[in-house]
Structure 1
Amino acid sequence: MTFLYRRRHPDGWHAGRGFTLFELMVTLIVLSIGVAIALPSFRGVLLNSAVSGQTNDLVTAMAMARSEAVRRGTQVAVVSAGGGADWSGGWSVVADTNRDGVFTGSDEVMKRSPALDSQYHVFAKNTAGGSDGRVVFNLNGAADAAYDLNVCYPTGDAARSRRIQVRASGNVSSFKGTSGSAATSCPAGG
């Protein structure tokens, strides 16, 4: 028969089997150094994710406008909230319900996107020289002109920004980087 005996500390107390204060402090220091190294790259991941999300929201709005134009047999537009080339104030998908070709308050707003955070920008350009403040799709799904839109990375880095291209056929594509875009260049530093 075997008996297990507890070993006693010389002072009479049981010896602890946990971590010493020194070991805990070293662990915390190593952990804080790791976090300090990882944080800057994590910020970049968050910014890239936000730019991609805004690009996807705008591409989705374009796809919605195009499909609704075909389904309803009327013009549907994605309209800049500010009415001009700067779409940073948000945008709306509007159906021309009264068929007058003017997208005003009397027409049906199907979707509204809020203004972007102040560090992000979206710029559009109608490559045929028409209005930069709206992309109009007709009942066949074609756009009224070709457009370039730049969704800008906060630092203005063109390689990290996104380009949306709307062809006159109505096809919408997005690309990483804004090279070759006719839209306003992204401002440096947001």
Structure 2
Amino acid sequence: MNTVEAKEWLDKCYGICSPPSSTIKYWFAEFRRGRTSTADAERSGRPKEAIIPEIIQQVRRMLLNDRKVKVREIAESIDISTGSVVTIMHQHLHMKKLLAMWVPHFLNIDQKEQRINDSQRCLALYNRNPREFLRRYITMDETWVHHYVPQDKRQSAEWVGPDERPPKRVKQDRWAGKKYCVIS
């Protein structure tokens, strides 16, 4: 049997699902070179199956040591694909990466009451004479000059397990790291 006869036979048996002529020619050449099996030969490189208990434990340890570690960093250190790392984290460890929730500074009772009183006084002034209240409202050009680099929400993302609460970050005091400048 030659490659043409093999192609005709495969077309008759499998129809449009039969392999192309180039594949059939490659198979014939491989068997002429001495290959005796159709099974995949051993290859160097990464293992075919990367999701094994030892690797899952390595990923778990890395995540517990640093909750902000990136998938790429884990993949490079363990020498598996990023897709395998994602599968391990989501399907085996049930972890997900959540952004930290912004929460305001916790106010004590006196501060809360002071806010309520101030708001009620402003509302009373507005209700007495809305036009005069708005006329007296001063506006001008202004800008904030930051003298620190705040951490954004994406940088605060952390890996959390299924029974863990999402991370929280207290919103920084707005006066702590910037100056208010009036431009006249």
Q: TM-score range by the shorter chain?
A: under 0.3
More helix by share: 2
Return the TM-score normalized by structure 2: 0.24
Which structure is richer in relative contact order (CA contacts within 8 A, separation 6 or more)? 2
More strand by share: 1
